[in-house]
């Protein structure tokens, strides 16, 4: 799972609220491991991030969906004192700080971070001395800690996309490629690169998985674009790439998706995950279940039926009566 962040640029009039809510969310995820509170804080941050005007009281905030009594009180406290006691306490606790640091390493989740801290490993320097405690993914995460934390400029992903297209075209002109994630939503910077590939010869009905992804990865390795492999299966590659002459190594994921599931996958991996949640909930209200694979009607018994045949991303919106949103409008 990616390290989730709510965007909160300086152009957002409520960015200071979003920042503290995101910090509280991270605390709930990494330290308390309370997924409900984590979701509540993220939802509130996301609502405030898209609110056009400055919120001036907890009471005003509470009128927004996703902001209840507790969060509105925190907004009041922040407005009155310029800080939050809860966050001050969290910052003052060395164990929390260490857990938060370690979970920033790609591949290190809250449980692993807590295990490391309880063994006395609280800094990256310490961790470098105890690499035996890390699996392959975590080792690469540590090796590229600084690189993976740097956002990727849109222009660089665009260059990588051009290269990917060129090599895929050489490999097999029928391969489809879409770079999804925040890049497809038009963001100026992204945390990683989410590539989706498909091929007409590979559909969900066929039991045998083709070697498409392995061939793709082999070709991108031999041309020097892919520099690290975290994991490689039949349908999912996780690793890293680097442009020639560029010193920063970037996280790259490539997923191979059956041709008949391509649009559901494109929709899902474009996100944002908040947008996906909303759209899935809407689908359910309309009697459909929507995921990264398919859109299926749900019968009165609650059992999903056969997947609806989909020929474009827009069709998914139409099927469930959800007003179409371009990728740029999905960054909630
Ligand atoms: P970023 O990389 O610029 O930080 O943003 P992103 O591209 O939106 O996030 P991501 O973590 O790379 O995830 C890509 C898409 O995958 C996301 O926009 C929607 C979908 N997705 C979910 N839930 C989850 C999840 O729990 N983990 C991950 N990694 N992706 C998810 O809907
Ligand atoms: Ca991404
Ligand atoms: Ca990703």
74 is catalytic: yes
How far does residue 301's CA lie from ligand 3's centre (Å)?
35
Average pLDDT (292-315) is: 93
How far does residue 146's CA lie from ligand 3's centre (Å)?
17
For residue 10, pLDDT over 70 is answered with no
Residue 181 CB less than 6 A away from ligand 1 = yes
Query: Which ligand 1 atom is the nearest neighbour of the CA of 152?
Result: 3
Proximal ligand: closest to the CA of 152 = 1
For ligand 1, atom 20, name the residue with the nearest CA.
269
In this prediction, residue 270 has a pLDDT band, given cuts at 50, 70 and 90, of very high
Query: Which ligand 1 atom is the nearest neighbour of the CA of 190?
Result: 3
In this prediction, residue 246 has a pLDDT band, given cuts at 50, 70 and 90, of confident
Domain 15-149, classified CATH 3.40.50.300, yes or no: no
Segment among 52-61, 121-130, 197-206 with least mean pLDDT: 197-206
Average pLDDT (114-125) is: 97
> What is the per-residue pLDDT for 8?
46
pLDDT in tens, 82-100: 999 999 999 999 999 999 9
Average pLDDT (254-279) is: 96
Q: Which CATH number is 152-257 given?
A: 3.30.460.10
> What is the per-residue pLDDT for 206?
77
Residue 5 CB less than 6 A away from ligand 1 = yes
Residue among 231, 273, 290, 332 whose CB has most ligand 1 atoms within 8 A, to mutate: 273
CATH superfamily of 271-329: DNA polymerase, thumb domain (3.30.210.10)
Residue 271 CB less than 6 A away from ligand 1 = yes
**What pTM did the predictor assign?**
0.88
Mean pLDDT, rounded, of the chain: 94
Residue 186 CB less than 6 A away from ligand 1 = no
For residue 129, pLDDT over 50 is answered with yes
For residue 2, pLDDT over 80 is answered with no
For residue 32, pLDDT over 90 is answered with yes
Average pLDDT (59-85) is: 96
Average pLDDT (316-324) is: 97
> What is the per-residue pLDDT for 87?
95
Proximal ligand: closest to the CA of 6 = 1
Average pLDDT (252-263) is: 97
> What is the per-residue pLDDT for 209?
72
Q: Domain coordinates of the chain in residue numbers?
A: 15-149, 152-257, 271-329
pLDDT in tens, 158-211: 999 999 999 999 999 999 999 999 999 999 999 999 999 999 999 998 766 789
- 3-state DSSP of the chain: CCCCCCCCCCCCCCHHHHHHHHHHHHHHHHHHCCHHHHHHHHHHHHHHHCCCCCCCCHHHHHCCCCCCHHHHHHHHHHHHHCCCHHHHHHHHCHHHHHHHHHCCCCCCCHHHHHHHHHCCCCCHHHHHHCHHHCCHHHHHHHHCHHHHHCCEEHHHHHHHHHHHHHHHHHHCCCCEEEECHHHHCCCCEECCEEEEEECCCCCCCCCCCCCHHHHHHHHHHHCCCEEEEEEECCCEEEEEECCCCCCCCEEEEEEECCHHHHHHHHHHHHCCHHHHHHHHHHHHHCCEEECCCCEEEECCCCCECCCCCCCCHHHHHHHCCCCCCCHHHHCC
How far does residue 265's CA lie from ligand 2's centre (Å)?
14
> What is the per-residue pLDDT for 308?
97
Average pLDDT (133-150) is: 98
Average pLDDT (306-329) is: 97
pLDDT above 70: percentage of residues in the chain: 96
């Amino acid at each position: 799972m990616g390290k989730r962040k709510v965007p909160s640029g300086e152009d957002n009039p409520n960015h200071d609220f979003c920042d503290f809510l995101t910090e509280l969310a991270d605390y709930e995820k990494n330290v308390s491991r309370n997924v409900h509170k984590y979701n509540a804080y993220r939802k509130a941050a996301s609502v405030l991030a898209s609110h056009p005007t400055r919120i001036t009281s907890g009471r005003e905030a509470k009128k927004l969906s996703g902001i209840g009594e507790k969060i509105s009180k925190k907004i009041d406290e922040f407005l009155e004192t310029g800080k939050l006691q809860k966050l001050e306490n969290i910052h003052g606790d060395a164990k929390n700080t260490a857990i938060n640091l370690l979970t920033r390493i790609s591949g290190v989740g809250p449980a692993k971070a807590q295990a490391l801290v309880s063994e006395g490993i609280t800094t990256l320097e310490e961790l470098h001395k105890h690499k035996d405690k890390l699996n392959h993914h975590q080792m690469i995460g540590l090796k590229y800690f600084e690189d993976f934390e740097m956002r990727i400029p849109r222009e660089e992903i665009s260059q990588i996309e051009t290269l990917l297209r060129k090599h895929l075209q050489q490999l097999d002109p029928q391969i489809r490629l879409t770079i999804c994630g925040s890049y497809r939503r038009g963001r100026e910077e992204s945390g990683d690169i989410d590539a989706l590939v498909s091929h007409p010869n590979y559909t969900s009905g066929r039991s045998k998985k083709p070697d498409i992804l392995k061939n793709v990865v082999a070709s991108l390795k031999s041309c020097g674009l892919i520099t690290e492999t975290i994991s490689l299966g039949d349908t999912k590659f996780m690793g890293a790439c680097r442009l020639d002459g560029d010193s920063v190594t970037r996280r790259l994921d490539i997923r191979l998706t059956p041709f008949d599931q391509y649009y559901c996958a494109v929709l899902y991996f474009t996100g944002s995950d908040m947008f996906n949640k909303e759209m899935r909930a809407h689908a359910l209200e309309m009697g459909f279940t929507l995921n990264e694979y398919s859109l299926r009607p749900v019968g009165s018994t609650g059992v999903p039926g056969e997947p609806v045949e989909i020929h474009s991303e827009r069709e998914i919106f139409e099927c469930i009566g959800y007003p179409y949103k371009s990728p740029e409008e999905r960054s909630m």
